[in-house]
Structure 1
Amino acid sequence: MSLQANKQEPILQVQHLKKYFPVTGQFGRLGGIKGQVKAVNDVSFDIYNGETLGIVGESGCGKSTTGRTILRLMEPTAGKVLYQNQDLVQMSKQELRRTRKDLQMVFQDPYSSLNPRKNVGQILEEPLNIHAIGDKKERRERTLEMLNKVGLGADYYYRYPHEFSGGQRQRLGLARALILNPKVIICDEPVSALDVSIQSQVLNLLEELQDEFDLTYLFITHDISVVRHISDRIGVMYLGKIVEEASTDQLFAEPLHPYTKALFSAVPRPNMDEDKRERIVLKGDIPSPLNPPTGCMFHTRCPFATEVCKNVVPERKEIASGHYVSCHLY
Structure 2
Amino acid sequence: MTKQPILQVKQLQKQFPLYGPFGKLGGVKQTVHAVKDVSISMYEGETYGLVGESGSGKSTTGRTILGLTEATAGEVIYNEQDLTKLSKAELRKFRRDLQVVFQDPFSSLNPRQRIGRILEEPLIIHGIGSKEERIEKVFSMLEMVGLQNEHFYRFPHEFSGGQRQRLSIARALIVNPKVMICDEPVSALDVSIQSQILNILKQLQQDMDLSMLFITHDISVVRYISDRIGIMYLGTIVEEAPTEKLFTNTLHPYTQALFSAVPGKQKRERVILKGEIPSPINPPPGCVFHTRCPFATERCKNEVPALREIGIEGSQHKVACHYAEETKQWSN
- 1:3 is matched with none
Partners of 1:7 and 1:237 lie apart in 2 by 27
TM-score calculated relative to the size of structure 1? 0.95
Deviation at 1:242, TM superposition (A): 0.4
254, 274, 279: which is aligned to 1:283? 274
- 1:142 is matched with 137
- Over the matched positions of the two proteins, sequence identity in percent amounts to 68
Output the amino acid matched with 1:325.
V
Measured against aligned partners, the alpha-carbon deviations of 1:188-221 in whole angstroms (never above 9, x if no partner) come to 0000000000000000000000111100010000
- 2:327 is matched with none
Conservation of the 8 A alpha-carbon contact between 1:7 and 1:49: no
Consecutive aligned runs of 4 or more in structure 1 exceeding 4 Å deviation: none
Partners of 1:7 and 1:286 lie apart in 2 by 38
- Residue 297 (structure 2) pairs with residue 302 (structure 1): no
Q: CA RMSD in A?
A: 1.1
Distance change >3 Å, CA 42–CA 252, structure 1 → 2 = same
182, 202, 205: which is aligned to 1:207? 202
Q: Secondary structure at the match of 2:4?
A: strand
- 1:313 is matched with 304
32, 35, 48: which is aligned to 2:30? 35
Partners of 2:168 and 2:7 lie apart in 1 by 22
Deviation at 1:93, TM superposition (A): 2.2
- 2:317 is matched with 323
Measured against aligned partners, the alpha-carbon deviations of 1:260-297 in whole angstroms (never above 9, x if no partner) come to 00000001112x4xxx6411010011100000000000
Aligned residues: 321
Q: Secondary structure at the match of 1:244?
A: strand
97, 100, 109: which is aligned to 1:102? 97
Distance change >3 Å, CA 253–CA 317, structure 1 → 2 = same
Q: Secondary structure at the match of 2:43?
A: strand
Q: Secondary structure at the match of 1:315?
A: coil
Deviation at 1:134, TM superposition (A): 1.4
Deviation at 1:136, TM superposition (A): 1.2
Deviation at 1:7, TM superposition (A): 6.6
124, 128, 147: which is aligned to 1:152? 147
TM-score calculated relative to the size of structure 2? 0.95
Conservation of the 8 A alpha-carbon contact between 1:40 and 1:241: yes
Output the amino acid matched with 2:220.
S
Unpaired runs of 5+ in structure 2? 325-332
Partners of 1:158 and 1:60 lie apart in 2 by 39
Q: Secondary structure at the match of 1:95?
A: helix
Partners of 1:171 and 1:245 lie apart in 2 by 29
Alignment of 1:52-201 (within 5 A): 52-201=47-196
Kindly indicate which of the two structures has a greater share of residues assigned to strand: 1
Structure 1 window deviating more from structure 2 (87-96 vs 261-270): it is 87-96
Conservation of the 8 A alpha-carbon contact between 1:10 and 1:84: no
Deviation at 1:96, TM superposition (A): 1.1
- 2:260 is matched with 265
Unpaired runs of 5+ in structure 1? 1-5
Q: Secondary structure at the match of 1:167?
A: helix
- 2:9 is matched with 14
Measured against aligned partners, the alpha-carbon deviations of 1:95-135 in whole angstroms (never above 9, x if no partner) come to 21111100100000011111111110111111111111112
Partners of 1:235 and 1:318 lie apart in 2 by 13
- 1:223 is matched with 218
Partners of 2:26 and 2:83 lie apart in 1 by 33
Q: Secondary structure at the match of 1:10?
A: coil
Q: Secondary structure at the match of 1:8?
A: coil
